[in-house]
């Protein structure tokens, strides 16, 4: 059984990822609520979905915020999805780097990729690699 192809371009749904807005200050006891909300967003979005976590309102970063983000990442991976951070403060980024957690960040170039328009300078006498 085959279906007739339609003339023209195929229909593609341009989907924007769902957003989970996190507010602070965060305490150690406030982990289950955001994890349940993330799980619900991932269930609605389907397998392999990305959920954007807006962390701009978390306030001053601390270990409770790191714990929350680590648990959100674990929850997303268990559900077959992933999270992307939106608007992390430089202090939060530094703290996440310090504890060894890597997160995909919205609007940032991926690791090991130079930003567009940046070229390396070559000095005379440099060895050719």
pLDDT tens digits for the chain (129 residues)? 445 555 655 544 446 788 999 988 888 788 889 999 999 998 887 767 899 999 998 888 889 999 999 999 999 999 999 999 999 999 999 999 999 999 999 876 555 555 566 566 667 777 776
pLDDT of residue 49: 87
Enumerate the domain spans of the chain: 19-105
Contact between residue 86 and residue 56 where contact means Cβ atoms under 8 Å apart? yes
19-105 CATH choice from 3.40.50.300, 3.30.750.24, 3.40.1030.10, 1.10.357.10: 3.30.750.24
Q: How high is the pLDDT of residue 43?
A: 87
Using CA atoms of 99, 104, 107, 113 in order, give the dihedral in degrees to the nearest 10: 90
The pLDDT assigned to 23 comes to 87
Neighbours of 77 (CB within 10 A): 11
The pLDDT value given to residue 1: 46
- What was the pLDDT predicted at 117? 60
């Amino acid at each position: 059984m085959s279906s007739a192809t339609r003339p023209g371009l195929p229909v593609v749904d341009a989907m924007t990822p769902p957003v989970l807005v996190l507010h602070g200050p965060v305490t150690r006891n406030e982990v289950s609520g955001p994890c349940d909300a993330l799980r619900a967003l991932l269930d609605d979005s389907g397998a392999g979905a990305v959920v954007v976590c807006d962390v701009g309102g978390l306030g001053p970063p601390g270990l409770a915020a790191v714990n929350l983000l680590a648990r959100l990442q674990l929850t997303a991976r268990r559900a077959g999805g992933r999270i992307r951070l939106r608007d992390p403060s430089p202090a939060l980024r530094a703290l996440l780097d310090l504890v060894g957690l890597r997160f995909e960040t919205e609007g940032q170039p991926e690791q090991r990729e130079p930003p567009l328009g940046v070229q390396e300078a070559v000095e005379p006498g440099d060895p050719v690699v």
